[in-house]
Chain A
Amino acid sequence: MLYIDCPYCGSRGHEEFTYIGDATKKRPDSAEKSDSAWFDYVYLRDNPRGPHLELWHHSLGCREVVKVLRNTLTHEILGAGRPGDEIAMPDAETER
């Protein structure tokens, strides 16, 4: 089990959550006309081996969206917060 520190509910097992995915993707402005901006947003992923910023929906809890920093190689959870929060990346390039 992964334990995610929900900013509203505290530490909860990950089976209460639904994984949404990469938190670094920003939806382009709806006036954006270039195909490449939308292509990047919809399809491309950094897919890092190491720290990954991601969104989880606390679907069986408070039903809020939680931002989580998690290492994809070790599954260690390095931080969690609200979607707008800045979560600090670990300094050392922990094996990207």
Chain B
Amino acid sequence: MAEYSVFSLVRNALTGHKNWQRAWRDPEPKPSYDVVIVGGGGHGLATAFYLAKVHGIRNVAVLEKGWLGGGNTGRNTTIVRSNYMLDDNSHFYEKSLQLWEQLSHELNFNVMFSQRGVLNLAHSDGQMDRFARRGNSMRLNGVDAELLDRNQVKKMVPHLDFSEEARFPIYGGLLQPRGGTARHDAVAWGLARGADRLGVDIIQNCEVTGFKRSGNRIEAVETSRGTIGCGKIGFAVAGNTGYLASRLGLKLPIESHVLQAFVSEPLKPFFDHVVTFGAEHFYLSQSDKGGLVFGGDLDMYNSYAQRGNLPTIDHVMRAGLAMVPSISRLRLLRHWGGVMDMSMDGSPIIGKSPIDNLYLNCGWCYGGFKATPGSGWVFAHTIAEDAPHPLNAGLRLDRFERGHLIDEEATGAVPGKH
């Protein structure tokens, strides 16, 4: 398949854009593969891409029950950052951010990674102290962080509520300048094209419904397109992990919950950064098409429904108005929900499972989009080497049982964390 370049763009423009080739093949499934990845979201595709590219394992299939990126990869609010405090998260997410910084070049596909800065607002002295601590931890781990006072925040984002009447006055904020957003569909498409070019079979409309086991191994997966044998198998199915695991009799420290997101009618550029409210759960950025993209909290009850409920919408809008009063007359264009794999300590699980040739990639909570390349990088390593990469050694499944939680919020075992 042809390289994309300014020349291919000009050539195709001159021929009326009628001769673009398809970006990836649509193969029939083979009887078996060395590695089967279940889930064609960003994580599954990135895993296949790095398996082929870094580990030379090319007899790989990605099985997707719907269409590529139709899960959370295509439903999220696209924020990318690495502003974590605890070492296991910090080093992992920073690696992911570094991969983002070169992803468009690596894939020959513009994922529109925009490092516009992610700013977390603080509304009390206590919150400022906490941000100072988190910022210092980040800097000690080599991650960029700047603590801003009220005036610096005001200069940067003047449309926030700096008035006397503000319900939650802004004291300052923690900025990660290298954070930002990326175009979610482009990430799925670019990774799919990249993996396909290295020989990976991407098979859509192929739902995994069961497993053929022998001893403590999975020999094959039953799918809506027939039985497919597998040497090794990796799950990257986000909110559907619990369901697939139950088919294997595995119980996991995960609950599936619904998270909603929203986009407004398009506006001229007015919001240049990603800003998160510190008094409520709300965050906002402006897309390249001009729509304001924002989100809030989970609906807070277990759900596999991919749709949310009105009270949460009301709550998110109220928080939005408290942060940016000038959007009060804006109309909402669309809203949607995604099924989130909420782990019990708020951090992801990437590693081996109790079944010999099954590997798990799940527990992404609110924030797995930013992890896409990093997750693929370490998951491919884990599958290829049958051992974790140093960057996901701490993110293993048995950390809960061993008491080695990675709990950024330090609030104990609850499945609603960030």
Q: Which residues of A contact B (CB under 8 A)?
A: 1-2, 13-15, 19, 21-22, 35-36, 39-40, 42-49, 52, 54, 70, 72-75, 96
Contacts and interface: CB of A to CB of B under 8 A. Distances in A.
Contacts of B255: 21-22, 45, 47
A73 B304 contact: yes
B301 A45 contact: no
Contact of B251 (A44, A49, A96): A44
Nearest to B254: A47
Interface string B299-319: 011111100011100000000
B311 A45 contact: no
Contacts of A36: 401
B400 A43 contact: yes
Given A1-B310, A1-B311, A19-B300, A47 B242 contact: yes
Nearest to B405: A43
B415 interface: yes
B243 interface: yes
Interface in B231-281: 240, 242-243, 246, 251-256
Contacts of A47: 242-243, 246, 252, 254-256, 302
B360 interface: no
The B contact surface, by secondary structure, is mixed
A-B pairs, top 4 by smallest CB distance, nearest first, are A47-B242, A43-B253, A15-B311, A44-B251
Given A35-B401, A47-B254, A72-B305, 5 more contacts: A42-B413, A49-B246, A49-B256, A72-B302, A75-B309
B344 interface: yes
A39 to B, nearest CB: 5
B309 A1 contact: yes
7 contacts: A21-B415, A39-B400, A44-B253, A46-B246, A47-B242, A49-B240, A72-B302
B401 A75 contact: no
B251 A46 contact: yes
A14 B303 CA distance: 14
Interface residues of B, number: 24
Contacts of B253: 43-45
Contacts of A52: 302
A70 B304 CA distance: 12
Given A14-B311, A47-B252, A47-B256, A54 B302 contact: yes
A57 B415 CA distance: 17
Contacts of B252: 44-45, 47
Contacts of A21: 255, 302, 415
A52 B4 CA distance: 49
A36 B401 CA distance: 7
Contact of B415 (A35, A45, A70): A45
Nearest to A70: B301
Contacts of B401: 35-36, 39, 43
Contact of A96 (B246, B300, B400, B415): B246
A43 B344 contact: yes
Contacts of A1: 309-311
A74 B309 CA distance: 12
Nearest to B303: A72
Question: Which one of A2, A13, A22, A72 has the greatest number of beta carbons of chain B within 10 Å?
Answer: A72
Contacts of A40: 251
Interface string B183-223: 00000000000000000000000000000000000000000
B222 to A, nearest CB: 16
A12 B256 CA distance: 24
Nearest to A43: B253
Contact of B413 (A15, A43, A49, A74): A43
A50 B243 CA distance: 10
Question: Which one of A14, A39, A46, A49 has the greatest number of beta carbons of chain B within 10 Å?
Answer: A49
Interface string B309-340: 11100000000000000000000000000000
Contacts of B254: 45, 47
A75 B310 CA distance: 13
A41 B310 CA distance: 32
B396 to A, nearest CB: 14
